[in-house]
Chains A and B, each alone.
Chain A
Amino acid sequence: MPVAVKKKLFAVLAVVCAVVASQVVFIKGGEASSVIGLAVCAAASAFLFLVC
């Protein structure tokens, strides 16, 4: 499989993992922990931005 495709697959996985972590860990903790969740999602999105 081409490297570019692998990178994009990893980026998609990163976003999905960030979102799952946010739902399971961060969002239930209220506003303060939601900020951490948003930061995690933003980091994964930055990865997506870079590889696409």
Chain B
Amino acid sequence: MIQMPSTLPPMSALTWILAMLPLIVVLVLMFQFKVSGPRAGVIAWVITLVIAYFVFKAGPQVLLAGSIKGVWTTLSVLFIIWSSMFLYNIVNETGSFKVIANTFTRLTNGNRLLQLLILGWAFPTFVQGVCGFGVPVAVATPLLIGLGFDPMLSVITALMGHSWGITFGSLGASYEALYTPSFGAWAGEWAGTGAPDAWRAPLAMWGSIFIAFGGVIVGLCILHHYRKYVPEEEKGSVIRKGLPAVLFLSIVMGLVMVGVCTWLVPNIGCFIAGAAGLGLGALVLPKMKAYKGTGEEFKPQEGTPDLSFLQAFSGYLMLFAIVLVCLLEVKGVFSNPIKQALASVKFGYNAVESVTGTGFTTPASFQSLNLTTPGVLIVVSSIVAICLYKAMGALPKGAVGRSLMNTAKQSIGSTTTVIAMTMMAVVMTESGLTTYIAYGIAAVAGSFFPFLAPFIGLLGGFVTSSGTSSNVLFAGLQFEVANALKISPFIILAEQTTASSLSNSFSPGNASLGTGVSNQSGKEGEILKVTGFYNMIQSALVGLLGILLINVLHMGL
């Protein structure tokens, strides 16, 4: 039986429901009453303060420390939103999206399904491989809109499409966050070598198997969601027509993911899988019988500038090049001196230690941002892109000023949502509410735990808008429960990291980022309603796979 830690209030159903209340309020206000994101966030923040104070005995200092950290945490997210929106507006001013759209239309024989799957799934996976934190959504959404897809479809597709690779994306940040000292010690004993690094190989294998499974589900969800946007008479055939492409991409990306993570370096699994999906998807799929063209002559869009694909795409190519040069590093294999130099330039503040009345402690820490923050790299890329487009004569007069103005208009809505939501989320975490919810789930689960484990990862991802943060928050708990139940911690942690990755499509922060870059501020609730539905199904399927492997096949130990 799992015991609630002594630093949290005693286990009770009422306390558990009260701990859940801020999340329930956000969901009900946004889904049911169509309240805007910032308003729902502020209301939920106030409710969190009240519950944390009266039920979890969090004093004013704890509540204030959480609120301050919440706003600080949003800065790097907001930096990405504003800078990627600016880059998009610069590229848009040159008319390059028409060139990109024409190229993909020609490459895919004008097949809308292929365009959606390649640009909305394989492409964000590739971007996620090197640069996470929402950048794949910020880059892929405008491209899909530029191809003429509905803005809502574009955001939801990019959100789901990038989510599955997160564990082995961002050069493995999320995967590394699964490590806890007690897990390392257990793995060392389990391997019989005592080496704390013994967790790496089996976890990379199980993690990549679950992530590949998540990839298949994501592809099917994208396909299923696309049905909403086709004429009534074509709805029935979308799955049949799209299934070969989804299976092809999920097999290619899944096999590459498992192969790279198991036998090469897990940190670059998503990058290589995304590159394979993007390359093979664009080259092989259009040649398949199901996706052959109609033979009609291709007509470029009117007003397309006289730029080649590489020239048009150079703004984003600069971003990839700069990210690779500045961030590419593989732990234990290759160390990047540029990254180290950039990381050494940091600014931040000293967060005080906060202790609740029951003893739940968040240690003092230096909260910092450094020059490897994605926003900095996107700003640098934007400046280089401006110079490049100017040199090509593609940037009209006054384009930079107009781009700045449009960026402010498009980004302010999501900015207000992200600030309010993150304040609530961090106060929940620092006051112990989030941990209490997770322990509550673990306590009632018993042998059913492999099914419920992904929902804990989902909770972490929803609250923090980050797969890495969810793993930091709950990897220890998941390991402790698996150890107590004598079941495979590798599989349980694989479920945790898969669900926390997938939940990135269902987090208010990422939804706000999506609405920001697609100029749909205020529609976060609509997006979360759709992605939340798919996320529940995804987590349940991951849980069922866990039950099958642990309870039926007794694997993973």
Contacts and interface: CB of A to CB of B under 8 A. Distances in A.
B39 interface: yes
A37 to B, nearest CB: 5
Interface in B352-409: 352, 405, 408-409
B419 interface: yes
Nearest to A35: B60
B190 interface: no
Interface string A19-41: 10011001110111011011001
A9 to B, nearest CB: 6
A48 B419 contact: yes
Interface string B37-81: 111001101100100000000011101110110011000000000
A38 B349 CA distance: 18
B65 A27 contact: yes
Contact of B352 (A2, A27, A46, A52): A27
A9 B408 contact: yes
Interface string B311-324: 00000000000000
B413 interface: yes
Nearest to B49: A38
A52 B38 contact: yes
Contacts of B49: 38
Contact of B68 (A19, A32, A52): A19
A30 B71 CA distance: 20
Size category of the binding interface on chain A: 20 to 34
B64 A45 contact: no
A16 B71 contact: yes
B59 A34 contact: yes
Contacts of A32: 60
B158 interface: no
Interface string A40-51: 011001101100
Given A19-B72, A37-B64, A45-B42, A12 B420 contact: no
Contact of B64 (A11, A12, A38, A52): A38
Chain B contact surface mostly = helix
Contacts of B37: 52
A34 B413 contact: no
Contacts of B412: 5, 8-9, 12
B64 A22 contact: yes
A22 B5 CA distance: 31
A52 B419 CA distance: 12
B42 A22 contact: no
Interface string B106-143: 00000000000000000000000000000000000000
B45 A52 contact: no
A27 B409 contact: no
A42 B68 contact: no
A15 B45 CA distance: 13
A12 to B, nearest CB: 6
B4 to A, nearest CB: 26
A44 B168 CA distance: 39
B59 A23 contact: no
Nearest to B38: A52
Nearest to B53: A38
B420 A27 contact: no
16 contacts: A5-B409, A8-B412, A8-B413, A12-B416, A15-B71, A15-B419, A16-B71, A19-B71, A27-B61, A27-B68, A31-B59, A34-B61, A45-B420, A49-B38, A49-B43, A52-B36
Interface of A: 1-2, 5, 8-9, 11-12, 15-16, 19, 22-23, 26-28, 30-32, 34-35, 37-38, 41-42, 45-46, 48-49, 52
Interface of B: 36-39, 42-43, 45-46, 49, 59-61, 63-65, 67-68, 71-72, 349, 352, 405, 408-409, 412-413, 415-416, 419-420, 423
